[in-house]
Structure 1
């Protein structure tokens, strides 16, 4: 008997992944749900064996300040979690979250997108029944993020080259999932197949870790171009990109300062691709090769 897996945001980059995690071609049904309505979410989740919950802020940043964006994303995440908690027969809840940057950095970095998801983490862990069914999934950097604002790559036609303006040092360790639509499914499958290992714990979906400079040069080689890491101040980045700098550029500075610790989960077990026996991932170079910024 097929098991129903319900995916919130199934048309997004992350949302497409759980549907392709099964070896057989899944039967897909699209249903409407409103993240502002718990009743509509409960209706969408009815009969689910597992629910994959993810929230995103891309559409919110253009219209709202960061405080409002954070409140909205937290409310969406809480609604998803509450609906999952109230879904009869649910066996597994996968919640897409981010590390507790403020806690890890001793308050030096309060990243809005992390903070909103972390408040939902606390809500889930405060519900013992739901927490026992939950895998907290942390997904590393998408290859497509080189297209976004303060971490984007810019052509310099007169030099025949590209530049990456960076308020983080070139040796910053960047954890990559790469092409999330191809590299996340190999993580979802063992999450669902090894519930005794993954429920209650954190899964770190990461394909490889490279320095910022190495990552840029992998991108450049994949395109057959020259690219240069250009250091700039955090103040300049904020002047150019405003609130986008607080979401993306500050995240890269956080990685630069706290390194491997950036992706830790104080007080909780973090499972990696090695722990879950994940195979079939494509490299960062291959992810970049088919992607145009």
Structure 2
């Protein structure tokens, strides 16, 4: 059996990878988390995962966590707490530093065969310097650092891009359908036209793990490639329509100005608005670096994925 070390093991992406690979007897799964004694961490351990503490901000703590790993899945987490404390730019810088810390340690490992790095598109470059999304671009600065400073690690690296999570509809306040007082209808209110297309990951809790498993199975064939977790490209108006069809509730979409959005959500809200604006101009992630893209068909996993409608139906009670 081979050992894979999975960062963010109690989060959305890492948790999906852990759950998927625990089903595969070829893998020993080591879940890396900031608190191995948390309820979620104990649940992972009860399922058969090794669970260890490590802090991506502390390079020394990563050495033991990655010891003996033949594969690594590295993902950072952006939280409202970090945005509030560090700002949008500072949070992006922190993500970059965390990925570089992991890369430094991973590059020294004699056992590592495959490094899977969860990143996002180069928004600033793709948009002709019109949109700068720290949550996207600082991950790519980490990629650039890896290419220059640890070329041996880059030679066995695959990037993984996860689209918009369906779970955002019930976990992210900015994206929730809301029912106004004295109304039976729901409203989705965003700083974008209803025609803006979202790159949607479907049920990330399933799909991330499925695709990462496909990456691992493909091995050297996908070194230097990008695997994209997007099951649907849907306009916001179709998101609302699907909500109505799945839940049986009436819903409408309301576009608000950036100024009003900032009053509601502050500077962090403007960062999300910029993501929607980027998506309006550049909706199709598969077009960004086509020579490097490996599709779910290439990986042979399309039939295992859960699309947007299926994911919404499964979580409709949480969404409304």
TM range (shorter): over 0.9
Q: How does 1:29-178 map to 2 (within 5 A)?
A: 29-58=50-79, 59-126=81-148, 127-147=150-170, 148-178=172-202
Compare 69-78 and 24-33 and name the one that shifted more: 24-33
Partner residue, 2:295: 272
Asked whether the equivalents of residues 118 and 159 of structure 2 are also in contact (C-alpha less than 8 Å), the reply is yes
Partner residue, 1:206: 230
Query: Any idea what the Cα deviations from partners look like across 1:160-215, whole Å, max 9, x if unmatched?
Result: 11111122221212111122111212201110010132111111111122111111
Q: CA–CA distance in 2 between the matches of 1:197 and 1:206?
A: 21
Report the CA distance between 1:140 and its aligned residue.
0.8
Structure 2 CA distance for partners of 1:247 and 1:87, relative to 1, 3 Å? farther
Partner residue, 1:17: 16
Partner residue, 1:190: 214
Compare 128-137 and 233-242 and name the one that shifted more: 233-242
Structure 2 CA distance for partners of 1:187 and 1:64, relative to 1, 3 Å? same
Q: CA–CA distance in 2 between the matches of 1:91 and 1:42?
A: 16
Asked whether the equivalents of residues 149 and 241 of structure 1 are also in contact (C-alpha less than 8 Å), the reply is no
Partner residue, 1:248: 272
Task: Tell me whether 1:28 sits opposite 2:49 in the alignment.
Answer: yes
Report the CA distance between 1:263 and its aligned residue.
5.3
Q: CA–CA distance in 1 between the matches of 2:286 and 2:78?
A: 20
SS at match of 2:2: coil
SS at match of 2:51: coil
Partner residue, 2:31: none
Asked whether the equivalents of residues 56 and 62 of structure 2 are also in contact (C-alpha less than 8 Å), the reply is yes
Report the CA distance between 1:99 and its aligned residue.
0.2
Asked whether the equivalents of residues 46 and 88 of structure 1 are also in contact (C-alpha less than 8 Å), the reply is no
Q: CA–CA distance in 2 between the matches of 1:77 and 1:107?
A: 24
The gaps in structure 2 that reach 5 residues or longer are: 29-47
Count of residue pairs brought into register by the alignment: 291
TM-score, L = length of structure 2: 0.86
Q: CA–CA distance in 1 between the matches of 2:199 and 2:93?
A: 27
SS at match of 1:209: strand
Report the CA distance between 1:64 and its aligned residue.
2.6
